[in-house]
Amino acid sequence: MMLVDKHFSRKYLREETLPTLFCPGCFNGILINALSKAFEELGIEDLRRFVFVSGIGCSSWIPSPYIRADSLHTLHGRAIPVATGIKLAKPELEAVVIAGDGDLASIGLGHLIHAARRNIDIVTVLVNNYVYGMTRGQVSPTTPTELETPTTPYGAFEYPLDICKVIEATNANYVARWTIAHFTQLKDSIKDVFSRITRGFRFIEVIAPCTTYVSRRLGKTPADTIKDLLRESVMVNKAKSMKDKVIIGVFKFEDKPGYIELYRDYIKRAKLNKR
Ligand code: SF4
């Protein structure tokens, strides 16, 4: 089942690949819907100027095969270096990475941090489902403490990584977090990173708890999870004095030159032999 509204546009999807292979109630459908709505509202007719790059994991299946655009399904953790190469070779293309916490926040974390440090001109959507869903729900770097998983049967005891805080501390132009319960805000953030800021590293974390290996383990339906997320989320500007909340909102919104512009300028200087 994909959670979609009645105006859902399929024009950005490969019809021949539908229905998706995601589990019933998987929240990846809401992200696909938000992407489609954002493209539609931006008046984007087709996705020819986009290249989607993904790693390994459930959310990495969103662009490849479901989105009707060029896409590269790469090795585990290596989506960012591939997107970096695409952007350097073809700066006119919009390079978009979609991957999960088990990819970008773990084996791919080094690449993620350095791409953000360079402010490389890539849009990255990290889908945080709290576990390694595709391999049956093992603990990941973002698993909430005390969640029981197959690899932490007595409850996760490590501190989870706040990935937005990490990226906020770099030179990335844009950092935001929404949950799948905040559809309009998520869709508007996606619009922003393709229209209001069109350069530099733009990062959106989407909290989308795995319905099969997180919600069900907690005895919750997808609808319960959405209600929980709405109740437990708090906007970043109100969050300072609060604890144990999912802090959502736009953490950073800048428009400084991205790596591609700096790199081109450097090449110009090198050609003129100027230091
Ligand atoms: Fe979605 Fe979890 Fe199923 Fe993966 S395992 S498709 S994240 S519900």
Q: How confident is the model at residue 274 (pLDDT cuts 50, 70, 90)?
A: low
Distance 75 CA to ligand 1 centre (A): 19
Residue 87 lies in a domain: yes
Backbone φ and ψ of 175, nearest 5°:
-140, 125
Read off the pLDDT of each residue in 49-78 and give the average, rounded to a whole number. Answer: 97
Number of domains in the chain: 1
Residue 56 lies in a domain: yes
Q: What is the pLDDT of residues 83-130, one digit of tens each?
A: 999 999 999 999 999 999 999 999 999 999 999 999 999 999 999 999
b (16+ CB within 10 A) / e for 56-82: bbbbbbbbbbbbbbbbbbbeebbbbbb
Q: What is the pLDDT of residues 122-172, one digit of tens each?
A: 999 999 999 999 999 999 999 999 999 999 999 999 999 999 999 999 999
Residue 244 lies in a domain: yes
pLDDT of residue 241: 81
CB-CB neighbours of 152 under 10 Å: 17
The average confidence (pLDDT) of the chain is 94
Provide the CATH number for the domain around residue 192: 3.40.50.970
Distance 135 CA to ligand 1 centre (A): 10
Instruction: Specify the ligand 1 atom closest to the Cα of 22.
Output: 6
Pocket residue to mutate for ligand 1, from 1, 56, 128, 134, most atoms within 8 A of Cβ: 134
pLDDT of residue 8: 62
pLDDT of residue 155: 93
Residue 226 lies in a domain: yes
Q: 22: Cβ below 6 Å to ligand 1?
A: yes
Residue 115 lies in a domain: yes
Lowest mean pLDDT across 5-9, 49-53, 66-70, 162-166: 5-9
Residue 1 lies in a domain: no
222 pLDDT above the threshold of 70 = yes
Distance 31 CA to ligand 1 centre (A): 13
Instruction: Specify the ligand 1 atom closest to the Cα of 23.
Output: 3
pLDDT of residue 7: 52
Distance 215 CA to ligand 1 centre (A): 10
Domain extent for 195: 6-272
